[in-house]
């Protein structure tokens, strides 16, 4: 059998999982091999008595347990996992849910697979050969799971190559990969409960392996998979996909094109309800509907993590000013290209639109929504609350 590292950290994000904690810790304790020192870090967002149960059960555990109850659930479950990372000390970190749909007995098999294959990420997969997703309750959740997997792998074919279950919440990752993501400008920016997707795309782990497993039925409590989480997942996908400036420009342009729908709709309404209204003021008014539409989508999806530099009202007014300047600039620029450049009207108009679009994108992207340079990974988060084993002193995992 492949030699295991001497020290392993296990991160468990929790939200109202009080009834699952005793069985989870018992099964983890039974799975720890001889000679391996494990630590369990609970990153908790609960509103019930989960924290009290963790403290009570930790007193009987043969390994250190760290409880970090977050004052605010920033980033959802993914944010909890990242804060849990900051409180671990081992070279391998395993992420596992508390609902026992992920078998704790597989924890050290994941690490052994990573050690033998020399990879930085090992994923417990429901879709690999030998895996089973029958624990997903009902056809709806199975459809959502398979659709989300297909969408993610379609958007990130290179980053997710060889990964059959990018939606898995059960995986092992080397600290080296996590640290590499923390060293880049934007760091980790989790949103919702699909943290593996964030890690696979931003960390770019050197080598990915999978271990098939049977996704079990929930032991207790309620599923966290809701329509709200589905919306957050879509927002997260867009944020990850638009991290590259070229992709942002494409999405920016597509949203801009979609703005013609509310623009034309309001223009039609004005011409019908306000007889005699000249075209020019009607078009100026209708253009504002398109700008509002564009701003709502761009501000909420493309630049969700870059909105700290200006208040929303200031962002909207600046965006509207840039968008209206578009109208003013296009016509004289096209006229200049025709008169001074000898171009015919059609290519002159197309070139003027391309120039104005590029200028508008650069102003919005590089000035209005300046890319954040501060590290967003919470490596300097408040100290966790350690729960020691009364049988022997346990050092604070934060050192």
Residue 221 sits in the same domain as residue 320: no
Q: What would the pLDDT profile of 153-204 be if each residue is shown by its tens digit?
A: 777 777 778 788 888 889 999 999 888 876 654 566 666 557 888 888 877 8
Residue 212 sits in the same domain as residue 252: no
Helix (H) or strand (E) holding 40: strand 37-44
Q: Domain limits at 277?
A: 245-368
Residue 399 belongs to some domain of the structure: no
Q: What would the pLDDT profile of 310-357 be if each residue is shown by its tens digit?
A: 688 888 888 888 888 877 787 788 788 888 877 877 777 778 778 888
What pLDDT shows up at residue 189?
66
Residue 300 sits in the same domain as residue 229: no
- The two tokens of residue 129 are 């050969």
Q: Are 244 and 201 in contact (CB under 8 A)?
A: no
- The two tokens of residue 375 are 């590290």
Q: What would the pLDDT profile of 279-306 be if each residue is shown by its tens digit?
A: 778 878 888 888 899 899 888 777 766 6
Q: pLDDT confidence of 307, banded at 50, 70, 90?
A: low
Residue 223 sits in the same domain as residue 292: no
Is the pLDDT score of 399 beyond 80?
no
Distance in angstroms (rounded) separating the CA atoms of residues 360 and 364: 6
Question: Where are the strands (E) in 228-369, listed by range?
Answer: none
Residue 188 belongs to some domain of the structure: yes
Q: What would the pLDDT profile of 96-152 be if each residue is shown by its tens digit?
A: 999 898 999 999 999 999 999 999 999 999 888 888 877 555 565 666 667 777 777
Is the pLDDT score of 25 beyond 70?
yes
Residue 21 sits in the same domain as residue 169: yes
Q: What would the pLDDT profile of 80-95 be if each residue is shown by its tens digit?
A: 898 999 999 899 999 9
3-state helix, strand, coil split of the chain in percent (to 5) is 50, 10, 40
Residue 354 sits in the same domain as residue 383: no
Residue 175 sits in the same domain as residue 315: no
Residue 392 belongs to some domain of the structure: no
Total tally of structural domains belonging to the chain:
2
- What phi and psi values does residue 309 have, to the nearest 5 degrees? -85, -20
């Amino acid at each position: 059998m492949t030699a295991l590292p001497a020290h392993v950290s296990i991160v468990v994000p929790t939200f109202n999982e009080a009834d699952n904690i005793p069985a989870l810790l018992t099964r983890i304790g039974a799975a720890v091999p001889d000679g391996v020192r494990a630590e369990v870090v609970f990153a908790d967002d609960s509103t019930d008595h989960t924290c009290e149960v963790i403290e009570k059960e930790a007193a009987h555990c043969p390994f250190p347990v760290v409880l970090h109850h977050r004052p605010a659930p920033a980033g959802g479950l993914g944010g909890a996992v990242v804060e849990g990372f900051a409180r671990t000390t081992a070279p391998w970190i395993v992420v596992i849910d508390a609902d026992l749909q992920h078998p704790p007995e597989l924890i050290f098999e994941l690490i052994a697979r990573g050690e033998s294959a020399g990879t930085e990420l090992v994923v417990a997969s429901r879709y690999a050969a030998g895996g089973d997703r029958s624990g997903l309750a009902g056809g709806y959740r199975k459809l959502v799971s398979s659709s989300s997997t297909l969408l993610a792998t379609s958007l990130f074919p290179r980053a997710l190559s060889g990964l059959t279950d990018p939606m898995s919440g059960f995986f092992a990752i080397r600290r080296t990969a996590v640290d590499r993501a923390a060293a880049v400008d934007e760091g980790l920016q989790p949103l919702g409960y699909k943290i593996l997707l964030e890690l696979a795309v931003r960390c770019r782990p050197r080598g990915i392996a999978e271990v098939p497993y049977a996704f079990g039925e929930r032991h207790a409590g309620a599923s966290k998979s809701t329509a709200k989480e589905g919306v957050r997942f879509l927002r997260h996908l867009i944020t990850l996909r638009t991290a590259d400036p070229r992709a942002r420009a494409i999405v920016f342009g597509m949203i801009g094109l979609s703005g013609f729908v509310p623009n034309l709709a309001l223009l039609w309404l004005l011409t019908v309800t306000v007889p005699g209204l000249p075209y020019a003021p009607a078009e100026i008014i209708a253009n504002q509907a398109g700008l509002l539409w564009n701003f709502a989508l761009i501000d909420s999806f493309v630049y969700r993590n870059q909105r700290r530099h200006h208040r929303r009202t200031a962002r909207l007014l600046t965006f509207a000013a840039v968008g209206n300047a578009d109208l003013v600039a296009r016509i004289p620029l096209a006229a200049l290209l025709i008169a001074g450049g000898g171009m015919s009207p059609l290519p002159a108009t197309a070139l003027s639109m391309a120039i104005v679009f590029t200028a508008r994108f650069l102003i919005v992207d590089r000035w209005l929504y300046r890319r954040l340079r501060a590290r967003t990974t919470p490596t300097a988060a408040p100290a966790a609350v350690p729960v020691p084993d009364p049988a022997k002193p346990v050092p604070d995992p934060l050192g």
